[in-house]
């Protein structure tokens, strides 16, 4: 942007323009200090809260992990309010090339030598081709979503009941992971049962192993018996090489290559190389779909459990009443009538979004406005948004730290434009021209459907939860079957 247009943008701002506060510390050592504060000394939320208080601003400069030696440049401008955050969705102002994981990019060896669609900017021609194909694929498969998910989830509940009867408790995550992989594989592979393939019962574990080295620079395992410096050295200093998971990934690739033939044939008709299409399909299935469900489903159950018996009774009454009125059928139309169920899902996505980070690089000089100030971001600077703060902005949401099940009912639906979990506003839809999750509407549907299936079977339940490096671990202690 020229100096004239920058000056013009500043003069058009209705708020005072502040220098973006914060600094990056000494070269190299400043990034290391911020990394230790982020993971170990303060923790993620306290890391950001401390800087908000220090600078009296929801916009500031800092370093983001992993830093040296994985990321060449850890310097970012942080956005922590609902008003500035949406600039990260504006593809005319920010570039999304290779920013999925933030300030570093895993080796393309993890993806067969290709850059998957999620790493492409909309300005790259291949982005429209790949995303357009995935959007058409999701549209084509939409009639299978509900019956396939219901079939997969029935096994989940049977396993939970068996474990509770035998052990007095049941781990939800392990069972949910198996169910999620089963659903995704059946959906993309002509309803083939993964147990009948070379994957057997190991599909979810193979995806877990493949995901870990890609995400390791962004997490802490929280193992008390491992010294912080040792974990930091292993996870955050040097990238974990692909060869550690090569054989696991090959099994996944071979399974999808063999059993997703109809999808890959269609991809070739759309001008996508079969090999590239298959690697993208594995990424879509593993990173986007399975990876998202791995975090989101336990989070959903955790927050609904915390709502207690009163919420459970209200959900059960709504779900059972509407299904009875629909003569026992469960369709998209039926689910759309369940206003409390829909609101609960949106509230979970607001209070604990499954993907907490968003990144983008400024394509030009940008003026952004928070609630009380304007700031100038220079072309080429990396912008980072921490979504759990943006979607708990006290100037937008009443009692933002509280889980309020009915928050998005009736007039509350107007607040959906401030729910950002899908890399866009909840009121937006994914297109080939944006970076919104192509399965955004499917994710919302599956969360609602999980609640529908659950409360058709059970009246109430209790769980214990612990924090994981990705999401929460949920253990069922008790379930009361529907009376």
| Residues in the chain, overall count | 483
CB neighbourhood size of 219 (10 A): 17
Query: For 2-13, b where at least 16 C-beta lie within 10 A, e where not — what string?
Result: eeeebeebeeee
Please give the C-alpha separations between residue 276 and each of 11, 114, 207, 268, 394, in angstroms, as whole numbers. Answer: 48, 7, 19, 10, 44
Q: What tokens appear for 68 in the block?
A: 């040296």
Please give the C-alpha separations between residue 393 and each of 7, 85, 187, 350, 400, in angstroms, as whole numbers. Answer: 30, 11, 37, 10, 7
Q: What is the dihedral of CA 110, 114, 119, 125, to 10 degrees?
A: -170
| Strand 366-369 relative to strand 357-362, pairing | unpaired
CA distance linking residue 24 with residue 31, whole number of Å: 7
- 109 in Cβ contact with 399 (< 8 Å): no
Q: What tokens appear for 162 in the block?
A: 């068996």
CB neighbourhood size of 207 (10 A): 26
Annotated binding-site residue? 437: yes
Backbone angles phi, psi at 376, to 5 degrees: -105, 120
Residues making up the binding site for heme: 437
Residue numbers belonging to the annotated binding site: 437
């Amino acid at each position: 942007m020229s100096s004239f247009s920058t000056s013009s943008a500043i003069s058009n701002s209705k708020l005072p323009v502040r220098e973006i506060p914060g600094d990056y510390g000494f070269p190299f050592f400043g990034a290391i200090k911020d990394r230790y504060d982020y993971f170990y000394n303060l923790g993620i939320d306290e890391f950001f809260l401390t800087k908000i208080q220090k600078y009296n601003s929801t916009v500031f400069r800092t370093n983001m992990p992993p830093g040296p030696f994985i990321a060449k440049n850890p310097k970012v401008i942080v956005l922590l309010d609902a008003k500035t955050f949406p600039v990260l969705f504006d593809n005319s102002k920010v570039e999304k090339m290779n920013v999925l994981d933030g300030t570093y990019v895993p080796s393309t060896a993890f993806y067969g030598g290709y850059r998957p669609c999620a790493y492409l900017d909309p300005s790259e021609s291949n982005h429209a081709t790949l995303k357009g194909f995935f959007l058409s694929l999701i549209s084509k498969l939409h009639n299978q979503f509900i019956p396939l998910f219901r079939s997969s989830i029935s096994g989940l509940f049977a396993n939970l009941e068996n474990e509770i009867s035998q052990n007095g408790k049941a781990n939800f995550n392990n069972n949910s992971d198996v169910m999620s992989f089963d659903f995704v594989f059946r959906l993309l592979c002509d309803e083939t049962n993964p147990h009948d393939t070379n994957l057997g019962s190991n599909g979810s574990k193979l995806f877990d192993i493949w995901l870990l080295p890609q995400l390791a620079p962004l997490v802490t395992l929280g193992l008390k018996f491992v010294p912080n410096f040792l974990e930091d050295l292993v996870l955050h200093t040097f990238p974990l090489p692909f060869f550690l998971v090569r054989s696991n990934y090959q099994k996944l690739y071979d399974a999808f290559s063999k059993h997703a033939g109809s999808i890959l044939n269609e991809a070739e008709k759309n001008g996508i190389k079969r090999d590239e299409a298959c690697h993208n399909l594995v990424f879509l299935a593993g990173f986007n779909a399975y990876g998202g469900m791995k975090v989101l489903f336990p989070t959903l159950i955790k927050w609904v459990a915390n709502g207690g018996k009163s919420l459970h009774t209200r959900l059960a009454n709504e779900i059972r009443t509407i299904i009875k009125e629909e003569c026992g059928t469960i369709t998209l139309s039926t689910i759309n009538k369940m206003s409390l169920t829909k609101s609960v899902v949106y509230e979970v996505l607001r209070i604990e979004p499954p993907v907490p980070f968003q990144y983008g690089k400024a394509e030009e000089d940008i003026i952004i406005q928070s609630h009380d100030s304007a700031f100038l971001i220079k072309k080429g600077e990396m912008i980072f948004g921490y979504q759990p703060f943006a979607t708990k902005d006290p100037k937008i949401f009443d009692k933002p730290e509280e889980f309020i099940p009915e928050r998005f009912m009736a007039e509350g639906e107007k607040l959906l434009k401030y729910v950002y979990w899908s890399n866009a506003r909840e009121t937006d839809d994914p297109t080939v021209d944006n970076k919104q999750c192509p399965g955004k509407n499917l994710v919302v549907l599956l969360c609602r459907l999980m609640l529908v299936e659950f409360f058709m079977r059970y009246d109430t339940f209790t769980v214990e939860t612990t924090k994981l490096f990705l999401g929460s671990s949920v253990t069922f202690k008790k379930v009361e079957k529907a009376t």
